A and B are shown apart, each in its own frame.
Chain A
């Protein structure tokens, strides 16, 4: 059976920072940014990182898929939160995948996601390939105007593929158009004109041409060319050289989302598949110290998966709070007050014991009474069963919940005040007091339907650790 893509998932954070708000603050210093001061870019909240965004994209990928059949999970990113702790391993716990999966972190280049995808497509196993990036950029830089946050994922394997993998071509050339040393916060980028001429045109352009020639596919046969170069006109120019029709070239989504780094090729591919038709040829090209080019052909299965997926491009929430954006990226020192001084030390022992409770949001269901509770305890909350050990694992993360009580707290420290939280009841049983994420005033009432999302709970700044847990967000129109 041919290998290919079985499903895809996208996660684009809700808030969209207005580029004009960046420019308005910085124009005294960098008036040259005026030309870029239009449109918006997707920005993750303070409690999102590449791991949490990847989890969200992964959940969408696995809609309708038996999770126990997944053989591996990989995460590609240049902004992995941990250098030594498997980031894909955290994703695995949040997605409640089997302990027997293999996991891989892929980093080091903006090409990391396409290289990962290419490798996964070699085999028949069900492999979850995720990409996420949340890059920092210096104030008043071109990168600050461009960089957006997003995650995308593809489930690869054989069987009912929505896009058959026809083959691909890689090139590796240590072309330093930009770089970021280990531990550094910011990219250092060379002149755009140099990158365009010597990088995109020579390296990526030739890889596209070579790939098509090797696969014996002509440029005219390509129905969709996803050329993930976040520079206006470059994809069109590369397509022309390869003989691909201008109207086959996919939009680079810079106006509304921004340049999402490692995610970008996968993000554009998913968005292209969403409006593609069966039997079409799709070319995916990415660039970064070389190039990857992959070619797919869509199948009849595409329609069903497209219908199952949410409308990812539902309008985000316009955000002009540039100061908050800087603070959430650790680039503005705000007086957080003494309440923020709570020691957030995470004992490794308790995290190990409660791994499934904390990272997987696994509750318990009493085998004798059927009562569901969170967290799982030795003795069930329903006192009819007085013997210990009656609770069986019961995953709650994908269950819809309803608000029972809530508040908007302006006293307790929150990086995104006021801090919303409340008690929620899950459909099918179980309840918890949960923090609410991404809430705008007036969005929550008693009875509001919520879904759970994997987020950062707090940072231990003293020891360089971040705690993850689940939070509730309102189910908005267009959500899965």
Chain B
């Protein structure tokens, strides 16, 4: 078995643009905003960057093809810039590229940048697009909420959860994230909401109402990574290291074989097991300090708590209602507001999650800072739809634990 990525790569610096409806700027401007923060944080010259990865979800609305737009916008030296797209895991995928480049020894310092300019589409929600010529003939051209709403129907049927109990738990997920987002100056949505307003919101895709859906935002985030040794040589003391990076793709089993019951994310379970092995985690509920999960929809966050083995299967909704994942709870989830309120610029989201975990580990999270020093911090992405998707689980923490 491979030795894994644990403690082989350190985060030298990170940056994150203010997320939101950024009518004032384009993808280039968003990347620059995040990049300048990251470079200053890293304390390096741009000329020291050996390689870069760019994560973008919808390139037609954003940067256009290739890695060139990042190289031009950031005036990178003539280095390799690789554009990656893996649905909503695109940002995490860019970080994985940079991390693997450093771990392999091919690069001393590597850059990951993720960006998405979604608000040039003219409407809320994600753009509709082709998924390939065969899919377009036989697939359903639904919406992201419609795809994920189906999780709720299957989960409810399997675990015999009353519709009103599940709706209430889903509302709690969103109310919690709004409360967290209100404390985050870079978040897209900074207004607290009540359980009642969440429950009474207009229906988007049954049973998901408006407040069960995350914000669709413009934004960018960056990470500059290097080896722990180089980080130390550059004068860094509190070194945040990569503990695990796992990306798992569906192979058609959920959608085409007859075994998956539609109530959970198969890929997340596989990715979580691999990531815990890689990081040396045996009891995630006890050992994880923080989680930033892919709460594209409230039901996704709730079920992800089970798929990450933090909640027992079928019990996640009870843990939610018990406040386990609130900012002051046992395992806070989305302490920065999550996709729900920080926002969800697809290509940036995976890096934004790591950014929050990084700030929390360094005690730089301001009003949101957890009092007890965090150790293992997890981030999770889910791209595509429950029946066919890519799931990533990344864990970072202090070097050496």
Chain A positions near chain B (C-beta within 8 angstroms): 337-339, 341-344, 346-347, 349-351, 354, 357-358, 371-375, 377, 381-382, 404-413, 418-419, 421-423, 425, 429-435, 445-447, 457-458, 467, 469
Contacts and interface: CB of A to CB of B under 8 A. Distances in A.
Nearest to B158: A446
B256 A381 contact: yes
14 contacts: A342-B129, A342-B141, A354-B137, A358-B138, A373-B256, A373-B257, A405-B262, A409-B145, A409-B204, A409-B205, A409-B206, A411-B146, A431-B257, A432-B138
Interface stretch (B70-78, B94-102, B149-157, B325-333): B149-157
A347 B133 contact: yes
Query: Shortest 9 CB-CB distances between A and B: which pairs?
Result: A409-B146, A405-B150, A407-B149, A446-B157, A405-B262, A412-B143, A350-B133, A405-B154, A381-B256
Given A375-B134, A404-B154, A412 B141 contact: yes
A418 to B, nearest CB: 7
A357 B146 contact: no
Contacts, number: 136
Contacts of B184: none
A418 B206 contact: yes
Nearest to A349: B133
Contacts of B386: 405
Given A337-B123, A405-B150, A431-B255, A375 B138 contact: yes
Contacts of B206: 407-410, 418
A349 B151 CA distance: 35
Contacts of A431: 255-258
Nearest to A457: B137
A342 B140 CA distance: 13
Main secondary structure of the interface of A (DSSP, over half): mixed
B261 interface: yes
B95 to A, nearest CB: 30
A430 B208 CA distance: 28
Given A409-B145, A446-B154, A421 B255 contact: no
A410 B203 contact: yes
Interface string B57-88: 00000000000000000000000000000000
Contacts of B141: 342, 412, 458
B134 A423 contact: no
A347 B142 CA distance: 21
A342 B128 contact: yes
Contacts of A423: 150, 255, 262, 387
B125 interface: yes
B252 interface: yes
A358 to B, nearest CB: 5
A411 B145 contact: yes
Contacts of B149: 407, 409
Task: Name, among A341, A429, A446, A467, the residue most crowded by chain B CB atoms within 10 Å (CB to CB).
Answer: A446
Contacts of B208: 407
A93 B50 CA distance: 57
B138 A382 contact: no
Interface in B136-190: 136-143, 145-147, 149-151, 153-154, 156-157
Given A342-B128, A411-B125, A423-B262, A406 B142 contact: no
Contacts of B147: 407
B122 interface: yes
Contact of A467 (B121, B137, B145, B262): B137
B118 to A, nearest CB: 13
Contacts of B156: 446
A351 B133 CA distance: 9
A346 B137 contact: yes
A421 B142 contact: yes
Given A375-B138, A409-B143, A410-B204, A429 B258 contact: yes
Interface in B187-239: 202-206, 208
A411 B138 contact: no
B155 to A, nearest CB: 9
Contacts of B145: 407, 409, 411
Contact of A421 (B121, B146, B261, B262): B146
Contacts of A375: 134, 138
Given A410-B206, A432-B138, 13 more contacts: A341-B128, A346-B136, A377-B252, A381-B252, A404-B262, A406-B153, A407-B153, A409-B143, A411-B125, A411-B205, A419-B142, A423-B255, A431-B258
A371 B150 contact: no
Contacts of A447: 157
Contacts of A349: 133
Interface in B245-269: 252-253, 255-258, 261-263
Given A337-B123, A347-B133, A446-B154, A421 B140 contact: yes
Interface string B17-42: 00000000000000000000000000
A465 to B, nearest CB: 12
Given A409-B143, A411-B145, A412-B142, A430 B387 contact: no
B240 to A, nearest CB: 38
Contacts of B387: 423, 433
A422 B386 CA distance: 11
Contact of B142 (A343, A404, A409): A409
B305 to A, nearest CB: 19
B122 A381 contact: no
Contacts of A419: 142, 146
Given A405-B151, A422-B150, A423-B150, A350 B262 contact: no
A350 B133 CA distance: 7
Contacts of A343: 130
A433 B146 contact: no
A407 B146 contact: yes
Contacts of B257: 371, 373, 381-382, 431
Contacts of A374: 256
A436 to B, nearest CB: 10
Nearest to A361: B138
A435 B137 CA distance: 12
Contacts of B121: 338
Interface string B108-130: 00000000000001110100111
A47 B202 CA distance: 27
Contacts of A404: 154, 261-262
Contacts of A408: 203, 205-206
